[in-house]
Amino acid sequence: MGLCSGKKGVVFGIANDRSIAWQITKALHEQGAEMGFTHLPDRDPERPKNENKVRKLVEPIGAKFVIPCDVQKDEELDGSFARIAQEFGKIDFLLHSIAFAPPNDLTGPVYNVSRAGFQLAMDISAYSLIALAGRARPIMNAGGSILCLTYLGGEKVIPGYNLMGLCKSALESATEYLASEMGKDGIRVNALSAGPVRTISASGVGDFKKMLELYETFSPLRRNITEDEVGKAGMFLLSSMSSGITGETLHVDCGYHIMGGPPLDAIPGKAEG
């Protein structure tokens, strides 16, 4: 019996085998969870690249369903949750791994972000959690868990993170408000703030190599996280093992977020006293 045996849930946002959502999915599967998945709709139905990438990952682990869902369209959200209810009846968890900002708005300074780019990024990256949570509530069992993925750039300025930092800040605030409102239904809502992981989306954020070096130098553990560590932490927050935790942003970053400056042994000529 695994920690998630008998539990059913849905995962929004797996892009490929480097996604944090995939690491969490693997951990959930290893613990006995049954899951359905959504993917970004393909522009060309004759060449379903997005669908094929997700199916290649999740069908070998017994995916209950794989369906398209554009989180900007209410009718697609409604259709997706109708399918989820049809397949599962009730669910026990939901993983939100959705974020996007137009490249031109993401790579430039915040003061130069376009109105349209800001609206699009906030809609997809932050409002989508609200849209999913509201639709999940009627079909989620008491004791259920909703988890979204964030990053330290939503709390502090991380050069290069730019517009996405504003989106993650809104996402974390939404997490707390949703946790407060859905707690009476026995539903928990949390966020997982991971250190840098080599995902496709990470490649668009500043100088990723330097970010890895900073984490290895500044973190109390003097290293960066592993994909497996993020996966297990996400599984924990979606399982009943975290039944007393809600409205929380759990940092899985080897302690990087607690540091206000570099460790003394990382400064030339300095040593620990």
Q: Where are the domains of the chain?
A: 8-255
The pTM of the whole model exceeds 0.85: yes
> 80, 67 in Cβ contact below 8 A?
yes
Q: What digits encode the pLDDT tens for the residues 133-151? A: 999 999 999 999 999 999 9
| 256 is known as an active-site residue | no
Residue among 127, 151, 215, 256 flagged as catalytic: 151
> 140, 85 in Cβ contact below 8 A?
no
| 111 is known as an active-site residue | no
Residue 273: pLDDT over 60: no
SS3 157: coil
pLDDT of residue 207: 66
Pull the structure tokens for residue 250.
């759990």
Q: Please state the rounded mean pLDDT for residues 16-31.
A: 96
What are residue 144's phi and psi, to 5 degrees? -70, 165
Q: Which segments within 132-225 are labelled E, that is strand?
A: 140-150, 188-194
SS3 193: strand
Beta-carbon contacts of 222 under 8 Å, excluding residues fewer than 6 positions away, are 216, 254, 263
Nearest Cα neighbor of 191 from 97, 121, 101, 81 is 97
pLDDT of residue 270: 62
- DSSP assignment, residue 160? T
Kindly report the CATH number that applies to the domain delimited by 8-255.
3.40.50.720
What are residue 40's phi and psi, to 5 degrees? -65, 130
Any idea which residue has 């990952």 for tokens?
Answer: 57
Question: Residue 80: in which H helix or E strand, if any?
Answer: helix 74-88
pLDDT of residue 269: 61
Question: Which region, left, alpha or beta, applies to residue 177 given φ > 0 means left and ψ of -120 to 50 means alpha?
Answer: alpha
How would residue 226 be classed by pLDDT, with cut points 50, 70 and 90? Answer: very high
pLDDT of residue 96: 98
Helices and strands per DSSP (H, E), number in the chain: 9, 7
* Cα 110 from Cα 107, distance rounded (Å): 9
Residue among 161, 177, 215, 256 flagged as catalytic: 161
* Cα 202 from Cα 161, distance rounded (Å): 10
Q: Could you tell me which residue, 47 or 72, shows the higher pLDDT?
A: 72
